[in-house]
């Protein structure tokens, strides 16, 4: 019983120190690294001292686990949630078991959503393999590790991840405690994290979506009779950059063939400063199968207004994604699991932070297309009517820090896909 009382006193001292750390959040920015170091030291104290002592007390049998001990265990859980440092508890496969409030705010992911999902799914693709390898090494008992990673929704801001092993009571394997902090030693703030769209009402959002549907309908009704394959190409031009950074069109009933690939816009050349040409509307971005398409205005938000196009010869330099566009144009749709499933099942697929990078296939060098295109959300919609066959598949990507596709946008895209399929059936 004396050991239990001593443990309670030490735990109470720890609680008081945590309260002091909470009050230290208002110190000047140049002194915050010291506060963060102290917080990490306290977490190490919990992992190395308090937690093993609690395990010893709990292993004494039912008689050794009094109500006071259970209360202290609940207190430890509360401390984990309230400690003012982003902390996550993961297993050796990086699957999140617990995420405290600071970590949820830091990553922009709700704890309930993150639990049961790999923490690597919220990191940039290039950092996932290294983080997974280091977490496995820590879980094996190879010692603590630290590495720099990048969050998928904010790839420009480096994050320092510190990993240490932790053996939960009654479990045969060690878990991994992950502490996240900005690599530049600054406390994350709302100004540094991508927030929601501008403060618009739901009515305004609906109006913007209806403007896009109106633009699509106008394009489909005013398109000349150029053949069925020209319909999805014109629809792709409406969606490109105004609605998505990447647009991939596959057409065909018995066998799909890739007809259009539109990637992020290229960098304007010197002659672009003279102003746009007299040609308005989307630029001429389509061509024969395998020919990549490009456009001019980068996507900066959910849905943008139509941009003024320029002819390809007006002083434009090649896009940084030109090689990815060419590789996508040369891909066989049959090698793309997402497209095959949409054509077979006839249902829309919406994925935010895709967990499987191979869902859209790989290029000839073996690199996943989703990684090369820096895809953060995607929409894959079949081009079909209520009772007709699937006439093609339209795939949309958003990349970088652009807001992910929403359910409302997916519903609007599903409606536009039926309009496109009707226009294709009319010209059949």
CB atoms within 10 A of CB 182: 18
Average pLDDT over residues 257-265: 89
- Give pLDDT, residue 316: 37
Total length of the chain: 428
- Token pair for 205: 């959002």
**Which band of pLDDT confidence, cut at 50, 70 and 90, is reported for residue 261?**
very high
Looking at the chain, the whole-number percentage of residues with pLDDT higher than 70 is 76
The partner residues of 246 in beta bridges, in order of sequence, read: 397
**Residue 86's pLDDT band (cuts 50, 70, 90):** very high
Pairing of strands 375-383, 96-99: unpaired
**According to the model, what pLDDT value does residue 402 have?**
84
Residue 187 backbone phi and psi in degrees, to 5: -70, 130
Position 381 pLDDT exceeds 90: yes
* Cβ pair 86, 179 in contact under 8 A: yes
Give the three-class secondary structure for 270.
helix
CB–CB of 249/231 below 8 Å? no
Q: What is the pTM assigned to this prediction?
A: 0.53
Q: Report in angstroms the alpha-carbon separations of 285 from 69, 175, 296.
A: 68, 51, 10
Residues 6+ apart with CB under 8 A from 207: none
**pLDDT band at residue 305 under the 50/70/90 scheme:** low
pLDDT of residue 280: 36
Q: Is the pLDDT of residue 267 over 50?
A: no
Residue 293's nearest CA partner among 283, 307, 281, 305 is 283
Phi and psi at 253, nearest 5°, equal -100, -60
**Top-confidence residue, 52 or 279:** 52
Contact 178, 149 (CB under 8 A): no
Mean pLDDT rounded to a whole number for the chain: 77
How far apart are the two ends of the chain, measured CA to CA in Å? 85
């Amino acid at each position: 019983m004396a050991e239990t009382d001593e443990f309670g006193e030490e735990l109470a001292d720890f609680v008081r120190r945590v309260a002091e750390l909470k009050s230290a959040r208002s110190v000047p920015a140049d002194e915050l690294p010291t506060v963060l170091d102290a917080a990490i030291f306290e977490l190490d104290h919990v992992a190395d001292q308090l937690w093993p002592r609690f395990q010893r007390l709990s292993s004494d049998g039912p008689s050794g686990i009094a109500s006071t001990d259970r209360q202290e265990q609940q207190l430890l859980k509360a401390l984990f949630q309230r400690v003012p440092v982003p902390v996550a508890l993961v297993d050796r496969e990086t699957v999140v078991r617990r995420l405290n409030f600071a970590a949820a705010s830091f990553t922009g992911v709700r704890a309930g959503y993150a639990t049961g999902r790999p923490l690597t799914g919220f990191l940039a693709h290039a950092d996932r393999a290294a983080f997974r390898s280091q977490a496995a090494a820590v879980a094996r008992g190879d010692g603590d590790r630290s590495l720099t990673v990048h969050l998928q929704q904010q790839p420009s801001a480096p994050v320092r991840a510190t990993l240490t092993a932790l053996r939960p009571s009654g479990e045969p394997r060690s878990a991994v405690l992950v502490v996240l902090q900005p690599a530049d030693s600054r406390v994350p703030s709302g100004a540094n994290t991508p927030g929601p769209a501008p403060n618009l009402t739901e009515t305004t959002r609906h109006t913007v979506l209806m403007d896009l549907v109106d633009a699509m309908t106008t394009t489909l009704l005013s398109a000349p009779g150029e053949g069925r394959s020209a319909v999805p190409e014109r629809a792709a031009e409406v969606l490109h950059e105004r609605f998505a950074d990447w647009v991939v069109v596959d057409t065909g009933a018995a066998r799909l063939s890739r007809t259009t690939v539109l990637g992020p816009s290229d960098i304007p050349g010197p002659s672009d400063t003279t102003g746009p040409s007299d040609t308005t509307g989307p630029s001429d971005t389509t061509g024969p199968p395998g020919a990549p398409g490009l456009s001019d205005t980068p996507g900066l938000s959910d849905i943008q207004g139509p941009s003024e196009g320029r002819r390809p010869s007006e002083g434009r330099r090649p896009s940084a994604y030109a090689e990815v566009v060419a590789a996508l144009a040369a891909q066989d749709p049959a090698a793309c699991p997402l497209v095959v499933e949409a054509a077979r099942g006839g249902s829309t697929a919406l994925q935010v932070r895709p967990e499987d990078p191979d869902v859209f296939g790989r290029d000839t060098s073996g690199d996943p297309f989703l990684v090369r295109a820096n895809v953060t959300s995607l929409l894959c919609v079949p081009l079909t009517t209520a009772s007709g066959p699937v006439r093609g598949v339209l795939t949309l990507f958003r990349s970088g820090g652009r807001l992910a596709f929403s359910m409302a946008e997916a519903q609007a895209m599903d409606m536009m896909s039926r309009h496109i399929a009707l226009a294709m059936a009319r010209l059949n």
